[in-house]
Structure 1
Amino acid sequence: MGGLALSNKLIEKYFSYLRLLDDQSKKKLIKKLTGSMKSSASSKKDISEFFGAWIDDRTSQQINEEIRVSRVDKQDGITF
């Protein structure tokens, strides 16, 4: 997942607000930002996990029949 990229001008604007914080608040913010960097780096996935063969015990005919049976006729039902 990509992150939000900020321009230097916007970063400077944020910093102008953040520099007014007390030291304790700055330390808490640093810990949170550092923690968010570690967690996002460890959550990277290998792209090969997102593709592959369909694994199912049903035959293609059974799957097709389930799809047909689960369809809803738009002509039936909804009245106000």
Structure 2
Amino acid sequence: MSLVLTNNTIDKYFGFLTKLDNKSKKKLIVKLKKSMETKEEADIDLLSLYGAWEDSRSSDEIINDIRKSRVEKNDLIDF
């Protein structure tokens, strides 16, 4: 996700950044340049994106555990 700035906002940042010393400006330029470099996407193994649920409990035991862990929303706490 990228943040898009308007020209007005960019001008405000630039006004602030022009007050920096040259060494700080150069460091900022290097960081901005590195952030613009495209990175190659690693190949994704589709087989690694899915799997089966592994559990020693039966389906009935899992369902009972889920039901027991539920919290009633009607329990309001007064402060």
TM-score (normalised: structure 1): 0.54
Q: Give the whole-Å Cα distance in 1 for the aligned partners of 2:14 and 2:70.
A: 55
Work out the CA distance in 1 between the residues paired with 2:78 and 2:69: 21
- Residue 4 of structure 1 deviates from its aligned partner by 1.3
Number of paired residues? 73
- Counting aligned pairs with the same residue, the percent is 42
Higher relative contact order (CA 8 A, sep 6+): 1
Measured on the aligned residues, the alpha-carbon RMSD in Å equals: 3.7
| CA displacement 1:18-61 (0-9 Å, x = unmatched) | 122111010122233344x26995788x6x6xx64542224422
| TM-score, reference length from structure 2 | 0.54
Name 2:14's counterpart in structure 1.
15
5+ residue gaps, structure 1: none
Unmatched 5+ residue regions in structure 2?
none
- Over 3 Å counting, the alpha-carbon distance change for 1:60 and 1:15 in structure 2 is same
